[in-house]
Structure 1
Amino acid sequence: MLFLEITLLVVYGLCLLFVLGFSLTQFQLTRLARRAYRQGLAPEPAAPAVWPRVTVQLPLYNEVFVAERLIDACAALDYPTAQLHIQVLDDSTDETVALVAARVAYHQARGLHIEQVRRPDRQGYKAGALAYGLTHSEAELVAIFDADFVPQPDFLRRTVPYFQEEPRLGVVQTRWGHLNEEYSLLTELQAFGLNAHFHVEQLGRNAGGHFINFNGTGGVWRRSCIEDAGGWHADTLTEDLDLSYRAQLRGWRFHYLPHVVAPAELPATLDALKSQQFRWTKGAAETARKHLRNVLRSGQPLSTKLHATFHLLNSSVFVAILVMALVSVPLVFVRADLPELKPVLRVASVFLLAFVPLVYYYYTAWRLDKPTAPRWRFVADFLLFLSVSMGLTLHNARAVLLGYRGRQSAFIRTPKLGLVKRAGGWRGRRYRTGDLLDGLTFTEGLLALYFAFGVGAGLYLGDWGLLPFHLMLTVGYGIVFLYSVRHRA
C-alpha cells in the first residue's frame, strides 16, 4: 500500500511541475506584453502607392444564420474595387447555398468582384476549401474570415500596408472582438479566456520574437508564404497552427496587431463550445506530434524553442489537470493515514501556487479589456473561468489523447447562431454537433459528485490543503453537466 500511495504522490507532483512550467511561460509572456504596451505601439505604416490585389476567402458550411451578415460585411470593405476579390468558399448542403447565391448576385450587380465557389466534395474540410480557392485566385495577399466574423470596413487598409515594409512578412494577425460577450455566463467566460490570449499571449510572443500562430481567421496571409510553406494541409484539425509553424520554420515573420479588432460571435451553447474545444485541443496535439521535433532540431534560439514547446503542448495541460484531480481525492486520505509523510504531502497543498503566475496573466488581460471595472469582478470572473476550464478537462483531455495517438477525426465546425449582444436565442436552432447527454456527459456529472466527496472528506479529516482545488472542480464539473442538460433542447 505504501508503494501505491507514494506512486500517487509522484504522479501528482509530476503533473504539478508541468502545470507550473506552463504557468511560468505565461508569466514571461505577460512581462513581454506589458513592456510592449509601456513602450507604445509603433505607428501604422503609410498606405502603399499602389494597393496590392487581395482575395478575401470566406469558408462556409451550412451557415444559414450568419452567411448573409458575413458577405455584406466583406462587401463593405473599404478597398480599391479593382484590387479586391471575394471568394465565398461554400461547401454547404442546405439552403445556405441559395442565400449565398442571392447575396453574391446582389453584390456582383453593384460591380464587386465576388463569387460563390462550390467544390465537388468537402475533401480536406476547411483546409481543402482554402487550398481550392487559391487555385482560382491570382492575388498576392489572402485575407480569411470565418462565418461568425464581421470585419470592420477599414480592416484591409489597416493590415495590408505592413506587407509593403518587409518582404519576409508572411502573416498579419489581428485581435478578435466579441459580438455577444454579454449574452450569457458561458459567453462571458469564453471572452475572459480569449482576451488573455489576444491581449497578452499573442503580443508577448510577437514582442519576444517567438513563434505565434495565425488564429484561423481575422488575418491576412502573403500568398507566397503559404506556397513556400507547402500550402494548406488537412492532416490536423488546426490547419492554421500547422501552417503557422511550417511557415515560421521556413523563416517567415508574423506580425500581430492588438489594436486592430475583428469582431466575432462566441458559441452560446455547450455543444457548440465543446465542438470548438475538441477541434482546438485535438488539433494542437496533432500539430505538436507533427512539428515539435522539427522545432527542437531547428536553429531557433533556446528561448523560442522553449516557448514553442509549451505553445504546442498547451492543450496537454488539460491532461495534467485531469490526472491531478483524479489523484487528489485519494491523497486526502493518504495524508490522514500516513502522518509520517506529512512533510512530503505538503507539496500537494500548494496547488494554487502553480496558478499564481496565471493570476498575473489573466489580470493583465482583464484590466486591459475592462479598465474601469472594480477588481472584485476579476476575482469572480477568474475563479469561475478556472472552475469551468477544469470542468472541461475530461472532454478536452480525451481530445488531446486522441490527437497524440494520431486518430483521425472529422472537422466539425462550430455552429453559429447570428447572436449580437443579448439579442437572439439558441432554442430550436437546427445545427447541433451531437447529443449532449452521452456517456461522457454522465461521467462529468459523476465527477462533480466525486470531487464533492473530496470536499467533504477534506472537511471531515481537517485537511484544508486541497479544499480550494476540490471546490473549483465540483463547481466546474457541475456547471458543465447542468449546461449539458439545459442545452440539449
Structure 2
Amino acid sequence: MSILDYFLFLAVLSIWGILVVNVVLTIAGYVNYLQKVRRPEPQLPVKVPFVSIMVPAHNEGIVIVKTLQSLLNFDYPKDRYEIIIINDNSAELLREVQSLYPHRNLKVINTDKTNGGKGKSNALNIGLKQARGSLISIYDADNTPQRTALRYLVAELMSDQRLAAVIGKFRTRNKNASILTRFINIETLSFQWMAQAGREKLFKLCTIPGTNYVIRRDILEKIGGWDVKALAEDTEISFRVYRMGYRIRFQPLAVTWEQEPQTLDVWFHQRTRWVKGNIYVILKNARLLFTKTGRPIRFDLLYFLSIYFLLMTSLILSDSMFVLSVAGIAHSDLVGFSNILWLMAIITFVISTFVTITTEKGEMTIANLMIR
C-alpha cells in the first residue's frame, strides 16, 4: 500500500467509525422514544413556581407579535409567569402588543448603544438581572410554542432536584416553504431523536438547544450566567451545568415551532455561526478531556471533536483522493473499495435517519422518503 492508500484507509475508517456511533445513538434514541411515549404526563407541583420567560429580539418586528401571542396563551397559571423581551429595534410592534395585554406580566427591556448589540448571551444576562422567577425559560423570537409547552417543561424539572434544566422539542414551522426547509425539518427530527435522545439514554447527556427550555435560576447565578464570548451559548452553558454535577433532561411533549431559513444564503450564515460557536466551546473545554473535572462531558467533547475536526478532515481527504484518481493525477488501489464503503455508508445513514422520522405523526410520507 502506498502512503496515499494509508491516508484514504484512515479517512474511510474515521467516517465509518462516526457513522457507527450515530447508528448506535439512533437505536438508543428510538428506545428512549418508545419509553417516553409510555410514561404518564408530568404534573405540576401543588406550589407552582414563578417562571420568567426571556425572549431576546433583534430586528424581529415581523415575527415577534405571533411569538408573544403564543407565550401569552400558555396554559400555565397566568399569575405564575412573566414575559421579558430584551428588545433591539422592534419597539413599535411590541408597544402594540403591550397595549393589547396591559394586565399581563409583560416587560420590554430596550437596549441601547452602551449595553446592546453584543449578542444573545449578553441580552440574556441583561434580562436575568430584571427577572423575578425562580425558574428561567428561554424562547427565540421566531418561535410559536404549543400551549402546553411551558407546563410540561416546568413539571418535568420540578420532578427531580438533580435536574438543572429541561429541554423541549422544536419543529419546523415553515417546513413546506422550500426544498431547503423540508431538509431542515427532517434534520431537526433526526437530531432530536438520533443525537439528543440517544445521548440521554446512553450517557445521561443532553445539550440545551437555545430555545424552548427551562433552567433553575440559582444554578444560572452560580455559574455566572451566559458566556458573552460564546456564539453557541446553549452548548457552552450545558457543559458548565454538567461539570457542576447536575443533569439536563429531554421532554418531547414540550413542543415549539420555529421559523427556519428558506434561502441558502441565510442557512449558510446560520450554520457558519453554529460551527464557530461550537468550535469555541470545544477549544474552551478541550483541556478537560482526560481530567476528572471533565468526566461528565467527556463523551460530548469527543463527539464534537470527531464531528467538527476528524469527520471534516476525513471527508475532504476522501473526496480529494476520489477527484485526483478520476483526473489521473494520483492512483490508489483502495478507491474502488472506498466507493463501495461510501455507498454502504449513505444507505446506512438514510435508513437510520428515516427510522427517526417514524417518531412523528405525519412525517412518514413519500415526499420525505424521496428527500432522504
TM-score under structure 2 length normalisation:
0.90
Q: Report the 3-state secondary structure (helix = DSSP H, G, I; strand = E; otherwise coil) of the residue aligned with 1:182.
A: coil
Cα deviation code 1:360-386 (max 9, x no counterpart): 430211222356746x6555212xxxx
CA RMSD in angstroms comes to 2.5
- Flag the 1:314–1:133 CA change in 2: closer, same or farther, 3 A: same
Q: Which moved more, 1:288-297 or 1:212-221?
A: 288-297
Aligned to 2:66: 69
Aligned to 1:57: 54
Aligned to 1:315: 308
Please point out which of 80, 84, 109 is paired with 1:117: 109
Alpha-carbon contact 1:249-1:298 (below 8 Å) kept: no
Identity of aligned residues (%): 23
Aligned to 1:140: 134
- Flag the 1:86–1:202 CA change in 2: closer, same or farther, 3 A: same
Residue 307 of structure 1 deviates from its aligned partner by 4.8
Gaps of 5+ in 1: 383-489
5 Å matches for 1:120-269? Answer: 120=112, 121-122=115-116, 124-269=118-263
Q: Report the 3-state secondary structure (helix = DSSP H, G, I; strand = E; otherwise coil) of the residue aligned with 2:28.
A: helix
**Structure ranking higher in strand proportion:** 2
Amino acid at match of 1:381: I
Report the Cα distance in structure 2 between the residues aligned to 1:115 and 1:189, rounded to whole angstroms.
36
Residue 250 of structure 1 deviates from its aligned partner by 1.3
Alpha-carbon contact 2:30-2:356 (below 8 Å) kept: no
Cα deviation code 1:98-133 (max 9, x no counterpart): 1112212332x2x11111112233253100000111
Please point out which of 9, 12, 26 is paired with 2:8: 12
Please point out which of 245, 248, 273 is paired with 1:279: 273
Report the Cα distance in structure 1 between the residues aligned to 2:239 and 2:346, rounded to whole angstroms.
28
* In the alignment, structure 1 residue 366 sits paired with structure 2 residue 357: yes
Report the Cα distance in structure 2 between the residues aligned to 1:334 and 1:148, rounded to whole angstroms.
50
* In the alignment, structure 1 residue 348 sits paired with structure 2 residue 342: no
TM-score under structure 1 length normalisation:
0.69
- Flag the 1:57–1:282 CA change in 2: closer, same or farther, 3 A: same
Q: Report the 3-state secondary structure (helix = DSSP H, G, I; strand = E; otherwise coil) of the residue aligned with 2:145.
A: coil
Alpha-carbon contact 2:163-2:246 (below 8 Å) kept: yes
Cα deviation code 1:410-461 (max 9, x no counterpart): xxxxxxxxxxxxxxxxxxxxxxxxxxxxxxxxxxxxxxxxxxxxxxxxxxxx
Q: Report the 3-state secondary structure (helix = DSSP H, G, I; strand = E; otherwise coil) of the residue aligned with 2:143.
A: coil
Report the Cα distance in structure 2 between the residues aligned to 1:20 and 1:170, rounded to whole angstroms.
35
- Flag the 1:183–1:378 CA change in 2: closer, same or farther, 3 A: closer
Report the Cα distance in structure 2 between the residues aligned to 1:13 and 1:231, rounded to whole angstroms.
45
- Flag the 1:143–1:21 CA change in 2: closer, same or farther, 3 A: same
Aligned length: 367
Residue 267 of structure 1 deviates from its aligned partner by 1.0
Q: Report the 3-state secondary structure (helix = DSSP H, G, I; strand = E; otherwise coil) of the residue aligned with 2:207.
A: coil
Residue 78 of structure 1 deviates from its aligned partner by 2.0
Please point out which of 247, 266, 270 is paired with 2:264: 270
Higher-Rg member (1/2): 1
Cα deviation code 1:331-375 (max 9, x no counterpart): 23559x75xx63x4444222233445423430211222356746x
Aligned to 2:98: 104
Alpha-carbon contact 1:203-1:258 (below 8 Å) kept: no
- Flag the 1:378–1:90 CA change in 2: closer, same or farther, 3 A: closer
Q: Report the 3-state secondary structure (helix = DSSP H, G, I; strand = E; otherwise coil) of the residue aligned with 1:86.
A: strand
Residue 6 of structure 1 deviates from its aligned partner by 4.0
Amino acid at match of 1:44: E
Please point out which of 35, 42, 61 is paired with 2:31: 35
* In the alignment, structure 1 residue 294 sits paired with structure 2 residue 284: no
Amino acid at match of 2:307: N
Report the Cα distance in structure 2 between the residues aligned to 1:9 and 1:154, rounded to whole angstroms.
56
Amino acid at match of 2:230: T
- Flag the 1:210–1:79 CA change in 2: closer, same or farther, 3 A: closer
Alpha-carbon contact 1:200-1:364 (below 8 Å) kept: no
Cα deviation code 1:263-300 (max 9, x no counterpart): 11111112211121111112111111111332432367
Q: Report the 3-state secondary structure (helix = DSSP H, G, I; strand = E; otherwise coil) of the residue aligned with 2:268.
A: helix
Report the Cα distance in structure 2 between the residues aligned to 1:254 and 1:234, rounded to whole angstroms.
22
Residue 190 of structure 1 deviates from its aligned partner by 0.9
Cα deviation code 1:373-407 (max 9, x no counterpart): 46x6555212xxxxxxxxxxxxxxxxxxxxxxxxx
Cα deviation code 1:445-481 (max 9, x no counterpart): xxxxxxxxxxxxxxxxxxxxxxxxxxxxxxxxxxxxx
Report the Cα distance in structure 2 between the residues aligned to 1:64 and 1:306, rounded to whole angstroms.
40
Q: Which has the higher contact order (CA 8 A, sep 6+)?
A: 2
Alpha-carbon contact 1:288-1:313 (below 8 Å) kept: no
* In the alignment, structure 1 residue 380 sits paired with structure 2 residue 334: no
Amino acid at match of 1:348: S
Report the Cα distance in structure 2 between the residues aligned to 1:307 and 1:358, rounded to whole angstroms.
20
Gaps of 5+ in 2: none
Residue 143 of structure 1 deviates from its aligned partner by 0.9
Residue 222 of structure 1 deviates from its aligned partner by 1.1
Residue 7 of structure 1 deviates from its aligned partner by 4.4
